[in-house]
């Protein structure tokens, strides 16, 4: 199961920025272990989008709960889960 996780900032950006270093450290670890494939802020700077790897719904819920942003109460998460039936072929290092 793949998941699209969206966050909505509940505080102004200057408050969000106070927790950003811890969030980025957490995010880097999740990308390194393959649980998050891609992530970034939305253009409007009002939240972010994260795409997970093939993980369970329970693991996605644990992932959101572990985010320092969530723990600090500065974001609200929403999750859309899907099976990922159609996938691009893996790119080779040629």
pLDDT tens-digit map of 23-47: 999 999 999 999 999 999 999 999 9
Mean pLDDT of the chain: 94
* H or E element that contains 47: strand 47-52
The stretches of the chain forming alpha helices (DSSP H) are 13-32, 57-66, 68-72
pLDDT tens-digit map of 76-89: 999 999 998 888 88
| Distance between CA atoms of residues 60 and 66, nearest Å | 10
Ordered by where they begin, the domains of the chain are 2-82 (3.30.70.1060)
Q: Which of 5-9, 23-27, 62-66, 85-89 is least confident?
A: 85-89
Has this prediction a pTM greater than 0.85? yes
């Amino acid at each position: 199961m793949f998941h699209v996780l969206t966050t909505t900032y509940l505080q102004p950006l200057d408050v969000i920025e106070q927790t950003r270093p811890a969030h980025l450290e957490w995010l880097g670890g999740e990308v390194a272990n393959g649980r998050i494939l891609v992530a970034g802020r939305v253009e409007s700077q009002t939240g972010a989008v994260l795409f997970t790897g093939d993980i369970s719904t329970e693991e996605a819920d644990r992932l959101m709960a572990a985010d320092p942003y969530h723990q600090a109460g500065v974001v609200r998460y929403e999750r859309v889960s899907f099976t990922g039936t159609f996938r691009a072929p893996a790119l080779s290092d040629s």
